[in-house]
């Protein structure tokens, strides 16, 4: 038999494109269109509906960047269409390749009832099925003219990312506003042929199944009269019945399809636009649920649900109804799909507290899964946080984006730093925007790495990023793929149903230990420095506000600010979304973030000041409030009192030029270039800086990644480096105990102050950068005389180790990594910490010296600033301030303590009395991360703590008030069913923790 396969396949493509798809709508009439352009920001629905609209013609331009236009479309269904299915086709000027990334609309009836959302892949609105004929049609469209930021030639700098710079030129052309007859048999034929054509292309060329499909398709195409597609569609479908009815083989891969619309809470659009994107998408999905009885849709991010409830109550009513039916599923149990590398311990915990509590309060739903398809890697502390929140599963997809190494599993146990394991799944479909294409389904089955032991995977199905969700075409394809020979099987299921099946069939999956590092998007640890500083500062201010408010409530009857703290926490958690905190959003988002952080800092400072004043009373005693979890200068952790004044620091000239700082613990030599050439630990008689090298060295690299400018830094950036060694001035500070250095480079200027606090073994480095570079990467280097094959970096509720070498491709790929407050390196008996108040990105490298002692130089470099031009062309331009400290002779305990110290500076005020801590612990290995009143308003005191040094710890926790009951709880402050009663002797509680174990206790008073 002659091989005519390519002939038939080419015929199928052309007939579908040019004859069958156009016949889905065989008849149409134009609608009348009028428009009102809202001035400025979006207006309430009732105002948009009532506005006076002016006629507009098809082909007219509309839509200034970030504008809102209210279209009114009216018309009459022709009498001749009686008994037919009629839809409105509303094309605002869509590009079908950009769902979620351009103009969108929400359709309303004249009474304000939402109908459904419009996007490039969803342009229809059902008018009637059937219609009577002569029906009057009136619809309103709230159309958002969001500009295209990520265009066909991506990553080009654009001013469209902020309404203040985007201009006013209309961007879109009104393309079609028609009433049309919808021919369902033709539409069904299109789906039949698409499913079979896509499946056929994935089957082996020599397989019998492929040729069976080929011949059936050929017969169907022969049955179609190209001059009368509508009259012959049923006849053509009949030719496909047999191949569509052939069942899948018993060993077929099984896919749980979950309707989904991954909506970035901000990215290439501002937060206010996400509110509307969510309303459009949820309107679409509730409408689809009504039309498709088997369809199930899952939506994560409690914040997005809260937006619908607050801003679109009419949509919220439909959502609640669908949730009650079990068809619209709250997923993930987090406030937003946050970054998980940079949020601090408590913030990561509160993501689950606020997310899960919202779904429990609104729907009585307890989420068991964390749902993070697009997050840029996962910190090693996350598993126990998920478990402590009462969840047990994790889904993500982004690790499939890794550039260097292919992750070896799709279903596995992920083990965190404390030994907690979480059942985890990476969908092998390799997208969180699955559209049910045959190529996607076949890829999932081929790609699944756990064949032979498991055969279930999940496919998040629907247009996402900018929203839109699942379409009726996707649902129709899934129906045909339910049980189809040659394909994986597909069934709509909830995330819970998938995980229960997957876990049951794979009770002993492989184990991955440690962080899930994404070998991509490493620069998100540095981009938009002020957003990151705002997050860090907010986290620590919230700690202080809760600590002092709880202490004042117990001791002085201070009114605990429940509502204010709840609101502020949710604001901080929102800004930890995985395109805000990582610095990968448009300029508008980060401009607003900076203002928001400044506002909430003011609010928190007021709460802290009021609580401390209530505690201290009115008086003239000089008091120091210590919010850190360790005592310092004689003031206990969580208390206030008079601080000791240790011996001062001496500043002297250096013989070879420069200055020497000496406080009896450290002697630091700063040369005439303002570089640290010696940091001598006097007690250990040990030099910190590698021979012939200098620390406090600012280094500048070119920074132009191959793509994803704000997200990525590629390894070749290291090929070129400029050491910034020239100094305009190096002089003694005005306090006589510091050195001030000024440098200029390019269009930028750096001022640093190096100081050695009295009685402390740490060199403080305050850096101010007036930054005006473009596509550059600024680092601060510390070459250390230290031999270490691994180093520790702080993460949530502990620290994780990474190698300093690059033996394998996995290690080489980690050339930029995340830490929280410290990085620590050590040889047995002696170590060094580098601590910070606001930076996250860093790198650690090692080399063996070829001359002299042939020792090892291990270099820690802190990432300070970048200057990408997309999506914000002005990224990080302006003045930035950073504080770091070099801590020679530091143990891991010192690193933990100094990390907290630099982030929680003392607060000083005058008052009448000292303040005893509300809670104390007698072992520094146990760090209290939160002291607060219980969220339920009971007045109970909640204390959260963890083992921070990486070993087992026993301690006595003492309450500074009368305790009547102690209960171990989960993060939501609910009693743990499998935890015994803590050992208690009055107000003293004995605690025993394994390495890095997280514990929450609720103390009734």
Q: For residue 578, which of 396, 715, 368 has the smallest C-alpha distance?
A: 396
Segment 376-388 mean pLDDT = 98
Residue 577 has pLDDT above 70, yes or no: yes
3-state SS of 691-742 is: CCCCECEEEEEECCCCCCCCCCCCHHHHHCCEEECCCCEEEECCCCCEEEEE
pLDDT in tens, 155-191: 999 999 999 999 999 999 999 999 999 999 999 999 9
Segment 935-964 mean pLDDT = 98
**456, 505 in Cβ contact below 8 A?**
yes
pLDDT in tens, 849-884: 998 889 999 999 999 999 999 999 999 999 999 999
Of the listed ranges 48-62, 249-263, 513-527, 979-993, the least confidently predicted one is 979-993
Confidence band, pLDDT 50/70/90 cuts, at residue 1:
low
Segment 510-528 mean pLDDT = 98
CA distance 630 to 612: 19
Confidence (pLDDT) at 735 = 87
Please report, for the chain, how many H helices and E strands are present, in that order.
19, 53
Residue 732 has pLDDT above 90, yes or no: yes
The β-bridge partners of 715 are none
Catalytic residue list contains 135: no
Segment 652-661 mean pLDDT = 96
Confidence (pLDDT) at 644 = 87
pLDDT in tens, 256-315: 999 999 999 999 999 999 999 999 999 999 999 999 999 999 999 999 999 999 999 999
Pick left, alpha or beta for residue 2 (phi over 0 → left; psi -120 to 50 → alpha; otherwise beta).
beta
Segment 740-763 mean pLDDT = 97
pTM over 0.95? The answer is yes
Confidence (pLDDT) at 646 = 77
Task: Return the sign of the alpha-carbon dihedral for residues 923, 929, 931, 933.
Answer: negative
The β-bridge partners of 38 are 68
Provide the b/e sequence for 351-365 (b: ≥16 CB within 10 Å). Answer: bbbbbbbbbbebbeb
Confidence (pLDDT) at 852 = 83
Task: Return the sign of the alpha-carbon dihedral for residues 351, 352, 357, 358.
Answer: positive
pLDDT in tens, 442-472: 999 999 999 999 999 999 999 999 989 999 9
CA distance 307 to 667: 56
Residue 816 has pLDDT above 80, yes or no: yes
Confidence (pLDDT) at 355 = 98
φ and ψ at residue 854, rounded to 5 degrees:
55, 35
Place of tokens 């040659």: 486
Kindly report the average pLDDT of the chain as a whole number.
97
Name the active-site residue from 91, 264, 374, 872: 374
Radius of gyration of the chain (CA): 31
CA distance 511 to 884: 37
3-state SS of 815-871 is: CCEECCCEEEEEECCEEEEEEECCCCEEEEEEEECCCCCCCEEEEEEEEEEECCCCC
Question: Which has the higher per-residue pLDDT, 667 or 851?
Answer: 667
Confidence (pLDDT) at 977 = 86
Residue 2 has pLDDT above 90, yes or no: no
pLDDT in tens, 337-356: 999 999 999 999 999 999 99
Of the listed ranges 792-806, 911-925, 941-955, 966-980, the least confidently predicted one is 966-980
């Amino acid at each position: 038999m002659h091989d005519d396969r390519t002939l038939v396949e080419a015929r199928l493509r052309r007939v579908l494109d040019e004859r069958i798809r156009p016949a889905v709508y065989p008849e149409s009439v134009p609608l009348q269109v009028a428009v009102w352009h809202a001035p400025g920001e979006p207006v309430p629905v009732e105002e948009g509906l009532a506005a006076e609209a002016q006629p507009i013609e098809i082909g007219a331009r509309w839509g200034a960047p970030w504008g809102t236009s209210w279209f009114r479309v009216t018309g009459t269904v022709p009498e001749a269409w009686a008994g037919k299915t009629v839809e409105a086709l509303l094309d605002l000027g869509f590009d079908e390749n950009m769902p979620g990334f351009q103009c969108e609309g929400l359709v309303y009836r004249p009474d304000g009832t939402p109908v459904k959302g419009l996007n490039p892949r969803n342009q229809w609105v059902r008018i009637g099925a059937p219609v009577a004929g002569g029906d009057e049609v009136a619809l309103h469209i709230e159309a958002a003219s969001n500009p295209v930021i990520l265009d066909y030639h991506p990553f080009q700098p654009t001013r469209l990312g902020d309404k203040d710079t985007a201009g006013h030129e209309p961007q879109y052309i009104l393309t079609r506003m028609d009433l049309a007859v919808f021919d369902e048999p033709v539409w069904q034929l299109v789906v039949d042929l698409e499913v079979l054509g896509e499946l056929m292309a994935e089957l082996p060329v020599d397989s019998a199944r492929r040729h069976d499909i080929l011949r059936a398709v050929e017969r169907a195409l022969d049955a179609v009269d190209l001059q009368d597609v509508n009259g012959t569609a049923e006849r053509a479908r009949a030719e496909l019945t047999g191949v569509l009815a052939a069942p899948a083989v018993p060993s077929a891969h099984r896919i749980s399809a979950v309707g989904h619309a991954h909506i970035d809470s901000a990215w290439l659009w501002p937060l206010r636009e996400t509110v509307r994107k969510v309303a459009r998408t949820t309107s679409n999905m509730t409408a689809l649920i009504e039309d498709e009885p088997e369809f199930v849709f899952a939506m994560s991010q409690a914040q997005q649900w809260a937006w619908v409830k607050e801003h679109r109550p009419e949509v919220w009513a439909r959502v609640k109804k669908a949730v009650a039916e079990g068809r619209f599923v709250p997923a993930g149990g987090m406030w937003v799909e946050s970054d998980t590398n940079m949020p601090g311990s408590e913030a990561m915990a509160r993501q689950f507290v606020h997310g899960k509590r919202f779904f429990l309060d609104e729907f009585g739903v307890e989420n068991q899964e964390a749902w993070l398809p697009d997050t840029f890697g996962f910190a090693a502390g996350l598993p126990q946080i998920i478990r402590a929140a009462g969840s047990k599963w994790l889904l993500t997809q982004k690790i499939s984006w890794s550039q260097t190494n292919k992750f070896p599993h799709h279903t596995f146990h992920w083990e965190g730093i404390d030994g907690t394991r979480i059942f985890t799944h990476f969908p092998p479909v390799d997208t969180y925007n699955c559209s049910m294409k045959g190529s996607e389904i076949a890829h999932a089955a081929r790609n699944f790495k756990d064949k032979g032991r498991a055969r279930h995977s999940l496919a998040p199905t629907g247009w996402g990023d900018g929203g839109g969700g699942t379409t009726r075409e996707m649902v129709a394809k899934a129906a045909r793929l339910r049980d189809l020979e040659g394909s994986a099987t597909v069934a709509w299921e909830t995330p819970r149903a998938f995980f229960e099946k997957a876990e049951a069939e794979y009770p002993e999956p492989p184990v991955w230990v440690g962080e899930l590092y994404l070998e991509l998007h490493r620069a998100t640890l540095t981009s938009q420095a002020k957003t990151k500083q705002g997050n860090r500062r907010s986290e620590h201010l919230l700690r202080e506000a809760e600590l002092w408010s709880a202490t004042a409530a117990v001791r002085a009857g201070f009114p605990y600010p429940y509502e204010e703290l709840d609101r502020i926490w949710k604001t901080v958690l929102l800004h930890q979304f995985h395109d805000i905190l990582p610095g990968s959003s448009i300029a508008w988002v980060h401009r607003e973030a900076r203002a928001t952080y400044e506002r909430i800092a003011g609010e928190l400072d007021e709460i802290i000041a009021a609580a401390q004043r209530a505690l201290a009373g009115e008086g003239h005693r000089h008091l120091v409030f210590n919010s850190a979890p360790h005592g310092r200068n004689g003031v206990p952790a969580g208390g206030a009192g008079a601080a000791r004044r240790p011996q001062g620091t001496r500043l002297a000239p250096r013989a070879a030029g420069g200055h020497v700082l000496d406080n009896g613990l450290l002697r630091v030599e700063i040369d005439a270039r303002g570089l640290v050439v010696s940091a001598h630990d006097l007690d250990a008689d040990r030099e910190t800086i590698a021979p012939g090298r200098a620390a406090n060295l600012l280094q500048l690299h070119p920074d132009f990644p191959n793509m994803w400018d704000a997200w990525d830094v590629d390894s070749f950036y290291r090929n070129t480096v400029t050491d910034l060694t020239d100094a305009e001035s190096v002089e003694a500070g005005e306090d006589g105990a510091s050195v001030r250095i000024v440098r200029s480079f390019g269009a930028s200027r750096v001022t640093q102050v190096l100081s050695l606090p009295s009685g402390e073994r740490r060199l403080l480095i305050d850096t101010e950068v007036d930054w005006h570079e473009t596509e550059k990467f600024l680092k601060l280097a510390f070459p250390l005389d230290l031999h270490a094959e691994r180093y520790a970096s702080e993460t949530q509720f502990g620290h994780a180790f990474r190698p300093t070498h690059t033996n394998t491709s996995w290690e080489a790929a980690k050339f930029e990594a995340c830490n929280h407050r410290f990085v620590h390196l050590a040889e047995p008996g002696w170590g060094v910490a580098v601590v910070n108040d606001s930076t996250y990105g860093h790198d650690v490298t090692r080399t063996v010296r070829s001359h002299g002692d042939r020792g090892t130089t291990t270099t820690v470099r802190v990432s300070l600033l970048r200057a990408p031009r997309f999506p914000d062309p002005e990224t990080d331009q302006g003045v930035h301030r950073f504080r770091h400290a070099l801590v020679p002779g530091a143990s891991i305990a010192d690193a933990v303590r100094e990390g907290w110290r630099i982030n929680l500076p003392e607060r000083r005020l005058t008052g009448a009395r000292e303040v005893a801590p509300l809670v104390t612990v007698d072992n520094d290995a146990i760090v209290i991360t939160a002291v607060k009143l219980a969220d339920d308003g009971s007045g109970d005191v909640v204390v959260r703590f963890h083992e921070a040094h990486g070993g087992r710890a026993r301690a006595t926790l003492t309450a500074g008030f009368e305790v009547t009951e102690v209960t171990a709880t989960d993060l939501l402050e609910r009693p743990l069913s499998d935890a015994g009663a803590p050992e208690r002797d009055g107000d003293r509680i004995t605690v025993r923790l394994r390495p890095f174990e997280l514990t929450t206790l609720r103390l009734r008073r």
